[in-house]
């Protein structure tokens, strides 16, 4: 299963793609989609959308995951971040991909083992989980962590789904 993770931001949206086969993870690619600060908000969002669409076209992931943005002290910044997150959600959805969403604490717990890990710990664990990976930027490391989190959570959901692992659900009788 090829998964793309996004760490959304208006200035820099990190992305990372992994292949997940059972417990095995393999790095495919990572990077950052940047918007030009001098442009209008609409033009910047369009830059993000086009950049993400190009990545989806090139690498053809089967599922996507986006980190949930938490509010910060500046309402204007929070709103702009939310708009960038919207682009990261809708672009893969428009391409027909299922899109998962994960809180930062869940991403950190999935990758590092604690929900209060710092950025350096996340980057170090991404590096260990994806040997040989050349991480393009901190935002890309976070995006790879989101993809890893999705792969782990997806596998767990499949194991617990009714009708899997030899367990059948009872059929409803009229």
Buried residues in 106-133 as b, exposed as e (16+ CB within 10 A)? bbbbbbbeeeebeeeebbebbbebbeeb
d(CA 59, CA 64): 12
Judge whether 38 counts as a catalytic residue. Answer: no
Q: Say how many C-beta atoms besides its own lie within 10 A of residue 8's C-beta.
A: 28
Judge whether 67 counts as a catalytic residue. Answer: yes
Judge whether 7 counts as a catalytic residue. Answer: yes
* Catalytic residue (one of 19, 38, 67, 171): 67
The contacts of residue 12 (CB under 8 Å, 6+ apart) are 32, 33, 34, 137, 139
* Catalytic residue (one of 19, 139, 142, 171): 139
Q: Say how many C-beta atoms besides its own lie within 10 A of residue 37's C-beta.
A: 8
- As annotated, the active-site residues are 7, 67, 139
């Amino acid at each position: 299963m090829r998964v793309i993770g996004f760490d959304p931001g208006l200035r820099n949206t990190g992305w990372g793609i992994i292949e997940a086969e059972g417990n095995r993870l393999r790095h495919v690619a990572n990077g950052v989609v940047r918007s030009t600060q001098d442009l209008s908000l609409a033009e910047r969002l369009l830059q993000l959308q086009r950049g993400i669409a190009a990545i989806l076209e090139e690498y053809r992931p089967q599922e996507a995951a986006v980190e949930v943005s938490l509010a910060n002290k500046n309402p204007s910044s929070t709103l702009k971040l939310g708009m960038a997150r919207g682009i990261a959600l809708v672009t893969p959805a428009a391409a027909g991909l299922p899109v998962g969403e994960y809180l930062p604490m869940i991403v950190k717990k999935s990758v590092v083992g604690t929900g209060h890990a710092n950025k350096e710990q996340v980057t170090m664990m991404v590096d260990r989980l994806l040997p040989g990976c050349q991480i393009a930027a901190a935002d890309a490391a976070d995006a790879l962590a989101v993809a890893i989190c999705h792969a782990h959570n997806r596998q767990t959901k499949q194991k617990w789904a009714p009708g899997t692992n030899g367990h059948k659900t009872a059929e409803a009788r009229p």
